[in-house]
């Protein structure tokens, strides 16, 4: 319900005078939000910190971009193709990496993402190397072209809402609780009969699949992608957005992603130290507010409207 | 009917150290069977090998007549074995209720469901409520497990295990860090549980072990040195040696 | 043949150089289980400290090279005290996140103070020339940098193996609980080692400036290469890191010469697989997870 209201409010923004530039920026923020939520499933709910989540997003971009250029620009077919590729890779990689946890998982996921990055650089026939895929055409839906700007923005809002609803259901389901149990203590989870590896594997695949949706939208927004979309520093960025927004909350990462995009825009136009400011805020959040922005908002909310009992 | 648990010639090495060396034991239906011995005797290693947290180097584990040697922990749970941990490992940031409900859903094979609200798995909810009532934790149901007092956390450990409706319940030092009053409470609880579930107990509190056990197996240095009723075991000269030996070492 | 020879030589030189950053990374991990993602940024800071010394203070290259780590060590000690020490009891993954944020801050601060441009530094005067090695003209400074790196790394090993501080570091790395019980002050030991490791990285950044040039993101690749070296060698295992450093460096330079970027993809793949199936490292026994 809340999701529908928020999505509705977002959807009318272009018609109440929001500047085209703001809309484009917001589109990017909402796409990042999808990506950050997918990361929250892994990091916030399952407790698997990854420095390789750019791989899922970038792979979705490459697959969708390649397909849109070579085969068809139909949004649904392109998305389907991208998802098949992303899920196939996630099934393979996930099977192996979910054998481990903690630091080992973080570093291995980083290494594997770098493998994809290097492949994107080296496999020039398909990826066009360092130049990346350029000139990806706009998507079509039911034969009608989705134009850049408002139309692509609305598509993003609808997709984000669908992802929100789906993931909200997921984390409230028995499976979602299972993941939280694994995050809290893998041994204890195994002792209540949870197949830890299987569940981590499923979480990994779901997380990648959702990130692939974001990657697909992004390749249409940017009309292309480069290997940098797979680079581990991008993985770091999405981790920053997610933690900044608040792990294990789903709505936190949405706020985190949107503020990331706008803060970055604000800082880079004003002065050059945006990394300094953002790094500082991030460190403070990790050190002092492990629940992120979402936690701070929740606290303020409760102090304004205390629950009477 | 097969015994709930039979362990035959179990062994386990850590590097050059043989931590468990040919341990056998058998638990009868509806009994409390205690495994005792001085520190480093290998009790916890036996415990971990049986419950699937360590892979035994040799020997056999039969659960209800089924050979489950080397099975991973989650399959053993499905086969009817539940355990608690010596160091409390409750799901700290979930509620007390959710801790137990996880166990209840697990027994029903519901933990993989992705498209329904966890709170709507009715039989699991009911099962969890029943167990919390039985163990006197109902008033804390909505609290985060982290916020429980130490003694209540230990009881929650048992509650989670019971929610799995096991054939065999394995308790690893359930009274660790508890006051004498709380210990007595746990002792009563174990006797009540034993009416419908066999219990394998690892415990240091000798008074309690002698009070509630039907059978006791004594280990030192990775081997079984005695096995029998509490009376027989406490009169066994080997056992007295082992425990006097430990006291000597501790006084040094 | 000549091309191959130069590739190997480049690899050996880079391997020596990589020792400076890998040893510090490995030491800090072994001692405090800290995965330091800011190591590359501290390396970059060393490069800029050199520039400050030379252009700002007007020092010559060599004094500035000595000065660079001395400027960076206090920064690193501050980082350890303020951001790492307070979270030592939290899961290890937190130090990874915090140091990642700190690397953001350092790179941001560098860009703020010096801009995003690249600064090229010529090697100090007598070493601008090349030398003839089996018919190949090879820059003298690279050979010099390799030799200096080797000596400094040997010094690190000497400290670890033969001094009382080294003994304490080894004790804590082996078994932190036991070492603490025996009265080793682990709190300040990590601060000290973190500072020294950063000093080594900064020294590397300054030493490598005439070879690799100085720019804000210069630490990114070094960080990754050092990580690979340290993981291959077994996290926390110093001797393993040495082998790891040379394997990474040679694979990059030889592979890079022949099969371009695929070699690095393979390298990452090998490391990932190695970590999963041999968490203790390929060449040595360390500890992960």
Q: Which tens digits make up the pLDDT trace of C99-150?
A: 999 998 999 899 888 888 888 888 887 777 777 777 778 888 888 899 999 9
Q: pLDDT-derived band of residue A145, with 50, 70 and 90 as boundaries?
A: confident
Instruction: Tell me: do B108 and B85 sit in the same domain.
Output: no
Measure CB to CB from residue C108 to each of A118, A232, A274 and give the nearest one.
A274
Measure CB to CB from residue A174 to each of B73, B77, B121 and give the nearest one.
B121
**In percent, how much of chain A has pLDDT > 90?**
45
pLDDT at A34: 96
Task: Give me the phi and psi of B136, to 5 degrees please.
Answer: 75, 25
| Domain presence at residue B157 | no
Q: SS3 for A225? A: strand
Checking if the pLDDT of C288 tops 70, the result is: no
Find residue B216's DSSP bridge partners: B34, B228
Cβ A244 vs Cβ A290: under 8 Å:
no
pLDDT at A158: 94
Q: For the segment A204-245, what is each residue's pLDDT rounded down to a tens digit?
A: 999 999 999 999 999 999 988 988 898 888 898 899 899 888
| B contacts of A177 (beta carbons < 8 Å) | 94, 98, 101-102, 105, 111, 118
| A contacts of B89 (beta carbons < 8 Å) | 185, 187-188, 191
Lowest mean pLDDT segment, chosen from A37-41, A158-162, C239-243 = C239-243
Task: Give me the phi and psi of A67, to 5 degrees please.
Answer: -65, -45
Instruction: Tell me: do B174 and B70 sit in the same domain.
Output: yes
CB within 8 Å of B248: residues ≥ 6 apart: none
Number of neighbours of residue B185 by Cβ within 10 angstroms:
16
CB contact A190 to C (< 8 Å): no
Q: pLDDT-derived band of residue C260, with 50, 70 and 90 as boundaries?
A: low
Highest averaged pLDDT of the listed ranges A56-65, A231-240, B209-218, C60-69: A56-65
Checking if the pLDDT of C51 tops 50, the result is: yes
Q: For the segment A63-95, what is each residue's pLDDT rounded down to a tens digit?
A: 999 999 888 889 999 999 999 999 999 999 999
| Domain presence at residue B155 | no
Q: SS3 for B33? A: strand
Instruction: Tell me: do B98 and B80 sit in the same domain.
Output: no
| Domain presence at residue B160 | no
Instruction: Tell me: do B86 and B96 sit in the same domain.
Output: no
Q: Alpha carbon A101 to chain centroid distance?
A: 21
Which residue range(s) make up the domain with B54? 5-90+166-251
Q: Candidates 1.10.3470, 1.20.1740, 3.40.30, 3.40.50; correct CATH number of C2-277? A: 1.10.3470
Measure CB to CB from residue B102 to each of A172, A173, A177 and give the nearest one.
A177
Average pLDDT for B100-124: 81
pLDDT at C248: 87
Instruction: Kindly determine whether residue B89 and residue A180, on different chains, have CB atoms separated by under 8 Å.
Output: no
Instruction: Tell me: do B245 and B177 sit in the same domain.
Output: yes
Instruction: Tell me: do B104 and B217 sit in the same domain.
Output: no
How many angstroms separate the CA of residue C151 from the nearest CA in chain A? 30
Distance between terminal CA atoms of chain A?
A: 25
Lowest mean pLDDT segment, chosen from A207-211, A302-306, B30-34, B210-214 = A302-306
CA distances (Å), origin A266, targets A63, A242, A260, A270, A279: 32, 19, 10, 6, 15
| Domain presence at residue B55 | yes
Instruction: Tell me: do B9 and B74 sit in the same domain.
Output: yes
Q: pLDDT-derived band of residue B211, with 50, 70 and 90 as boundaries?
A: confident
CA separation for the pair B88, B104 (Å, rounded): 19
Domain layout of chain A by residue ranges: 2-232
For residue C100, give the nearest of C29, C42, C26, C176 by alpha carbon.
Answer: C42
Instruction: Kindly determine whether residue A106 and residue C96, on different chains, have CB atoms separated by under 8 Å.
Output: yes
Quote ipTM for the complex. Answer: 0.86
Give C119's DSSP letter: B
User: For B139, how many CA atoms within 13 A lie in the half-sphere containing its CB?
Assistant: 3
Instruction: Kindly determine whether residue C108 and residue A96, on different chains, have CB atoms separated by under 8 Å.
Output: no
Checking if the pLDDT of A135 tops 90, the result is: no
Find residue A35's DSSP bridge partners: none
Average pLDDT for B186-205: 89
Average pLDDT for A97-118: 85
Element (H, E) at B217: strand B215-220
pLDDT at B249: 43
CA separation for the pair A179, A199 (Å, rounded): 7
| Domain presence at residue B152 | no
Q: For the segment C154-190, what is each residue's pLDDT rounded down to a tens digit?
A: 999 999 888 888 888 888 887 777 777 777 777 788 8
CB within 8 Å of A95: residues ≥ 6 apart: A201
| A contacts of B143 (beta carbons < 8 Å) | none
Instruction: Tell me: do B176 and B86 sit in the same domain.
Output: yes
- Average pLDDT value over all residues in chain B: 86
Instruction: Kindly determine whether residue A172 and residue B117, on different chains, have CB atoms separated by under 8 Å.
Output: yes
CB contact C269 to A (< 8 Å): yes
Instruction: Tell me: do B72 and B178 sit in the same domain.
Output: yes
Highest averaged pLDDT of the listed ranges A202-206, A303-307, B195-199, C165-169: A202-206
Higher-pLDDT residue of A37 and C168 is A37
Average pLDDT for A97-120: 85
Instruction: Tell me: do B97 and B52 sit in the same domain.
Output: no
* Strand B215-220 versus strand B32-36 pairing type: parallel
Q: Alpha carbon A217 to chain centroid distance?
A: 11
Residue to substitute from A42, A107, A230, interface C, most C β-carbons within 10 A: A107
Checking if the pLDDT of A49 tops 70, the result is: yes
Q: To which residue do tokens 């969708």 refer?
A: A64
Which CATH number do you get for residue B192?
Answer: 3.40.50.300
The pair of three-digit structure tokens given for residue A77, joined into one six-digit string: 């077919």
Q: pLDDT-derived band of residue B250, with 50, 70 and 90 as boundaries?
A: very low
| A contacts of C45 (beta carbons < 8 Å) | none
| A contacts of C224 (beta carbons < 8 Å) | 114, 232
CB within 8 Å of A110: residues ≥ 6 apart: A50, A51, A52, A232, A235, C227
* Minimal-distance CA residue of chain B relative to A175: B112
Cβ A110 vs Cβ A52: under 8 Å:
yes
Q: SS3 for B82? A: strand
pLDDT at C289: 35
Average pLDDT for A15-38: 90
* Minimal-distance CA residue of chain A relative to C116: A272
Instruction: Tell me: do B182 and B143 sit in the same domain.
Output: no
DSSP class per residue in B98-152: HHHHHHHHHHTT-TT--SS-GGG-HHHHHHHHHHHHHTT-GGGTTSBGGGS-HHH
Q: pLDDT-derived band of residue B124, with 50, 70 and 90 as boundaries?
A: confident
Checking if the pLDDT of C1 tops 60, the result is: no
Q: Alpha carbon A18 to chain centroid distance?
A: 25
Residue-level length of chain A: 309
Q: For the segment B11-21, what is each residue's pLDDT rounded down to a tens digit?
A: 998 877 888 88
Checking if the pLDDT of A189 tops 70, the result is: yes
CB within 8 Å of C157: residues ≥ 6 apart: C238
Per the structure, how many domains does chain B have? Answer: 2
The maximal CA–CA distance of chain B, rounded, in angstroms, is: 61
CA separation for the pair B219, B40 (Å, rounded): 10
Instruction: Tell me: do B106 and B51 sit in the same domain.
Output: no
**Contact between chain C and chain A (3 or more Cβ pairs less than 8 Å apart):** yes
* Minimal-distance CA residue of chain A relative to C33: A103
CA separation for the pair C65, C73 (Å, rounded): 13
Checking if the pLDDT of B248 tops 50, the result is: no
Higher-pLDDT residue of A260 and B242 is A260
pLDDT at A106: 86
Q: To which residue do tokens 């490992």 refer?
A: B89
Checking if the pLDDT of B179 tops 60, the result is: yes
* Strand B5-14 versus strand B81-83 pairing type: unpaired
């Amino acid at each position: 319900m809340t999701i529908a209201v928020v999505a509705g409010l977002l959807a009318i923004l272009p018609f109440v005078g929001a500047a085209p530039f703001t809309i484009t920026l917001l589109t990017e923020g909402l796409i990042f939000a999808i990506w950050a939520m997918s990361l929250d499933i892994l990091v916030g709910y399952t407790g698997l910190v990854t420095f390789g989540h750019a791989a899922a997003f970038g792979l979705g971009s490459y697959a969708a971009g390649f397909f849109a250029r070579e085969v068809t620009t139909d949004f649904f077919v392109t998305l389907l193709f991208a998802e098949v590729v992303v899920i196939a890779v996630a099934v393979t990689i996930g099977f192996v990496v979910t054998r481990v946890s903690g630091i080992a998982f973080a570093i291995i996921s980083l290494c594997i993402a770098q493998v994809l990055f290097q492949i994107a650089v080296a496999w020039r026939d398909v990826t066009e190397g360092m130049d990346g895929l350029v000139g990806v055409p706009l998507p079509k839906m039911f034969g009608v072209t989705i134009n850049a700007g408002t139309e692509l923005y609305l598509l993003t809002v609808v997709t984000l809402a669908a992802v929100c609803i789906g993931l909200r259901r997921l984390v409230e389901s028995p499976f979602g609780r299972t993941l939280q149990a694994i995050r809290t203590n893998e041994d204890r989870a195994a002792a209540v009969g949870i197949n830890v590896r299987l569940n981590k594997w499923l979480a990994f695949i779901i997380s990648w699949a959702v990130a692939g949706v974001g990657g697909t939208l992004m390749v249409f927004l940017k009309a292309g992608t480069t290997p940098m979309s797979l680079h581990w520093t991008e993985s770091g960025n999405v981790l920053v957005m997610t933690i900044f927004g608040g792990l294990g909350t789903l709505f936190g990462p949405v706020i985190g992603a949107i503020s990331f995009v706008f803060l970055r825009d604000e800082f880079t136009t004003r002065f050059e130290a945006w990394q300094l400011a953002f790094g500082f805020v991030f460190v403070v959040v990790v050190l002092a507010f492990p629940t992120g922005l979402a936690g701070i908002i929740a606290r303020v909310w409760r102090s304004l409207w205390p629950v009477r009992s | 009917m097969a015994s709930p648990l039979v362990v035959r010639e179990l062994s386990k090495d850590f590097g050059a150290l043989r931590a468990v060396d040919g341990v056998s034991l058998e638990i009868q239906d509806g009994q409390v069977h205690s495994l005792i011995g001085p520190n480093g005797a290998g009790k916890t290693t036996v415990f971990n090998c049986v419950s699937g947290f360590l892979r035994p180097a040799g020997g056999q584990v039969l659960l209800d007549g089924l050979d489950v040697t080397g099975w991973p922990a989650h399959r053993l749970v499905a086969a009817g074995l539940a355990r608690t941990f010596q160091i409390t490992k409750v799901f700290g940031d979930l509620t007390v209720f959710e801790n137990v409900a996880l166990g209840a859903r697990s027994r029903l094979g519901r933990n993989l469901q992705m498209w329904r609200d966890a709170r709507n798995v009715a039989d699991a909810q009911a099962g969890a409520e029943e167990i919390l009532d039985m163990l006197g934790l109902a008033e804390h149901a909505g609290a985060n497990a982290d916020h429980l007092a130490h003694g209540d956390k230990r009881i929650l450990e048992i509650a989670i295990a019971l929610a799995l409706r096991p054939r065999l319940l394995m308790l690893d030092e359930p009274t660790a860090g508890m006051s004498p009053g709380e210990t007595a409470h746990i002792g009563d609880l174990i006797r009540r549980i034993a009416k419908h579930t066999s219990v394998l107990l690892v415990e240091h509190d000798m008074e309690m072990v002698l009070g509630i056990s039907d059978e006791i197996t004594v280990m030192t240095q990775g081997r079984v040195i005695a096995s029998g009723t509490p009376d027989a075991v406490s009169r066994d000269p080997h056992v007295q040696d082992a425990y006097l030996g430990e006291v000597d070492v501790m006084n040094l | 043949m000549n091309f191959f020879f130069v590739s190997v030589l480049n690899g050996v030189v880079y391997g020596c150089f990589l020792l400076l950053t890998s040893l510090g990374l490995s030491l800090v991990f072994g001692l405090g289980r800290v995965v330091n993602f800011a190591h590359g940024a501290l390396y970059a800071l060393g490069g800029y400290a050199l520039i400050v010394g030379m252009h700002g203070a007007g020092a010559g290259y060599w004094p500035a090279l000595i000065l660079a780590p001395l400027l960076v060590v206090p920064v690193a000690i501050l980082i350890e005290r303020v951001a790492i020490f307070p979270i030592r009891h939290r899961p290890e993954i937190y130090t990874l996140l915090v140091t990642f944020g700190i690397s953001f801050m350092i790179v941001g601060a560098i860009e703020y103070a010096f801009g995003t441009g690249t600064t090229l530094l010529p090697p100090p005067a007598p070493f601008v020339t090349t030398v003839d090695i089996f018919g190949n003209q090879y820059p003298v400074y690279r050979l010099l940098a390799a030799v200096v790196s080797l000596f400094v790394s040997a010094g690190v090993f000497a400290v670890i193996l033969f001094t009382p501080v080294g003994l304490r570091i080894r004790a804590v790395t082996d078994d932190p609980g036991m070492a603490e019980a025996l009265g080793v002050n682990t709190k300040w030991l990590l601060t000290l080692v973190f500072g020294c490791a950063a000093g080594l990285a900064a020294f590397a950044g300054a030493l490598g400036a005439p070879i690799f040039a100085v720019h804000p993101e210069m630490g990114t690749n070094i960080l990754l290469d050092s990580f690979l070296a340290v993981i291959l060698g077994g996290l926390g295992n110093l001797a393993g890191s040495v082998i790891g450093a040379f394997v990474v460096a040679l694979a990059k330079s030889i592979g890079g010469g022949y099969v371009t970027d695929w070699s690095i993809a393979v390298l990452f793949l090998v490391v990932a697989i190695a970590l999963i199936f041999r968490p203790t490292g390929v060449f040595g026994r360390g500890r992960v997870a």
